[in-house]
Amino acid sequence: MTEFRQGQIIKMSGQKLRFLIVSNNAFIDATGVFHVCPVPEDIPEGPLHIPVSGVSGFSGTVICEQMKMIDPGKRSCMIIDSLPYYMVMNVSDAIQGIFEYD
């Protein structure tokens, strides 16, 4: 069975887009599910649209406001790349900023 981790770029069967796993590893280990954000390759960057480049060459823009929960047991998911830790931190900071107090 594949071990999914925060910062991995995945492809799901039936989906054209790639997705970034944004849940932390403790959440993934405890629940067996994870949150993802879409990573299209043709979207301009912005405050909640974070450009990323994977270690194996994938690049795109994470759309942080479109987070979804995925059960990998119900979908066919394949890991295609992973992000350097500092990029995972940038995306996590943007997502956390959505929920901060005013």
Answer yes or no: is 63 within a domain. Answer: yes
Q: What range defines the domain where residue 46 resides?
A: 8-99
Answer yes or no: is 42 within a domain. Answer: yes
Provide the residue-wise pLDDT of the chain in tens; the chain has 102 residues: 689 999 999 999 999 999 999 999 999 999 999 999 999 999 999 999 999 999 999 999 999 999 999 999 999 999 999 999 999 999 999 999 999 887
Please state, in angstroms and rounded to a whole number, the distance separating the CA atoms of residues 11 and 68: 14
Write the CATH number for 86: 2.30.30.110
Q: Identify whether the C-beta of residue 9 lies closer than 8 Å to the C-beta of residue 17.
A: no
Please state, in angstroms and rounded to a whole number, the distance separating the CA atoms of residues 100 and 14: 34
Joined tokens for residue 40: 């299209």
Phi, psi of 29 (to 5 degrees): -65, -40
Answer yes or no: is 2 within a domain. Answer: no
Answer yes or no: is 3 within a domain. Answer: no
Model pLDDT, residue 1: 60
Answer yes or no: is 60 within a domain. Answer: yes
Answer yes or no: is 1 within a domain. Answer: no
Give the pTM. Answer: 0.95
Model pLDDT, residue 18: 98
Q: Identify whether the C-beta of residue 7 lies closer than 8 Å to the C-beta of residue 85.
A: yes
Model pLDDT, residue 64: 98
Answer yes or no: is 19 within a domain. Answer: yes
Please state, in angstroms and rounded to a whole number, the distance separating the CA atoms of residues 21 and 35: 6
Model pLDDT, residue 32: 96
Domain count, the chain: 1
CA neighbor of 51 nearest in space, from 63, 65, 68, 37: 63
